[in-house]
Amino acid sequence: MPDSEEVEREARKLTEDFAEQVNNGDKPGALALTCEKTAVQPLVEIIMDRQPRIELGATTATGLGASTEITGSRADNPRASGSIHVMTEDEGATWCVASFFFR
């Protein structure tokens, strides 16, 4: 089982990769990083349609996952904020985006 530093490091890397896909408008790339067992995919599609620009804040590890606060803009909101939560379902072998909130 990964320790909290490893969780935070791996989570931050995935969050950075996800934010890059979102900021580049790469919907398939962003969706490929999401967890299959969650309902996050429709949220990613909706948010991506609003041309988001994300800036990452602090990442906080919580067990086998981590949350990162985000700020930035969307076509319908120049001062958007939210969070990205990533998790591992197999004790650190693979990571995925479990939730994405940005309004």
Which domains does the chain carry?
4-102 (3.10.450.50)
For 71-80, write each residue's pLDDT tens digit. Answer: 999 999 999 9
How far, in Å, are 2, 72, 79, 91 from residue 38 at the CA level? 22, 24, 27, 17
Phi, psi of 22 (to 5 degrees): -60, -50
Average pLDDT of span 76-101? 92
What's the predicted TM-score (pTM) here?
A: 0.93
CA pair distance 34, 40, nearest whole angstrom: 7
What's the chain's average pLDDT? 93
